[in-house]
Amino acid sequence: MLGYACMNHTLRDREPPVRCNRDMQQATFEERGPAYASELALQNVRDLHETLRWNAAHDLRFYRCTSALVPWNSQFDLADLPDYEAIRAAAERCGALIEREEMRLTFHPDYWCRLGSDSADTRANSVDAVEYHADWLDLMDLDRSPYYGINVHIGATYGDKAATGSRFRDAVDRLSPGARARLTVENDDRESLWSVPELVDALDGTDVPVLFDYHHHTFTDRGLTYREAFDRTAATWGSVRPATHYSEPARLHGADARPRAHAACPARVPGWLRERSDVMIEAGDKERAVEAVRDATTAS
């Protein structure tokens, strides 16, 4: 299956807009607190259901949900929100729809989520972030499996890859069973960071799958072809169908952009990647990019 991340342009352009990322600034949270976060979360989860319904109707069955689904969730327990029962009921409707329509939903916590950081505070906050994403998936009553993944990067080396990998594995050991069962880690897009073979080696023995990012591999190939690198990651998924990321450089489509920038819409997705994984297309055109790729494949 093919998917897209977070924003649905078609639904966002409606009046009123349908979106799952209502959030607030720190000053607003300090003024209005969890009660307002609860109100926004309820709207977000209800709109997530509407987004999933639209996706199912358009045969788009892989979706990455925004990490703003429950604003400021690091500052409170979900069950303490005044709208908790309504949020729980709305989340259960989302989970039932996902299972009924055989869809796949994942999360990708923000860039600051660094389980291998050399800062103890950052590691602790990162563990908390993975945990509350896992709580959202539990609220939807979805399996504790990397099929419904919480995808992160190791994302830095702090001058010592071996020590960073060790801290990352220690943080994984601190996760609850539900959070750990859903964790996945993707390869980076800078020569100095984490390539596919380095991740596979670093995570050996953890049962944490490595998610293959096709575009990132361009910058950290370590002499492996795309297929060879994918094969290395696929072996880490066990019986679960791998998830992968696909994008094309904006420069390939004539844009004056940095090499790592994604094109608004890729021209195609390699057939072998589609056959062997569920592919998240990372592109500025979001759902429209997925439909365009699918239509182009059907026409060819």
Q: Mean of the pLDDT values across residues 96-110?
A: 97
Q: What per-residue confidence (pLDDT) applies to 300? A: 55
Q: Is the pLDDT of residue 255 over 90?
A: no
User: Which residue do the tokens 């929100």 mark?
Assistant: 81
pLDDT of residue 180: 98
User: Cis peptide before 34, with omega less than 30 degrees from 0?
Assistant: no
Helix, strand, coil percentages, rounded to 5, for the chain: 50, 10, 40
Round the CA-based radius of gyration of the chain to a whole number and report it.
19
Beta-bridged to residue 229, according to DSSP, are: none
DSSP per residue, 238-252: TTSPPEEEE--BGGG
Give the model confidence (pLDDT) of 111-142 as tens digits: 899 999 999 999 999 999 999 999 999 999 99
Q: Which domains does the chain have, with CATH numbers?
A: 1-107 (3.20.20.150), 108-246 (3.20.20.150)
pLDDT 10s digits, 74-89: 999 999 999 999 999 9
Comparing CA positions, the residue from 13, 4, 91, 81 lying closest to residue 47 is 91
Q: Hey, which bits of 138-213 come out as E strands?
A: 150-152, 183-186, 210-213
Distance between CA atoms of residues 263 and 265, nearest Å: 5
264 contacts 245 by C-beta, under 8 angstroms:
no
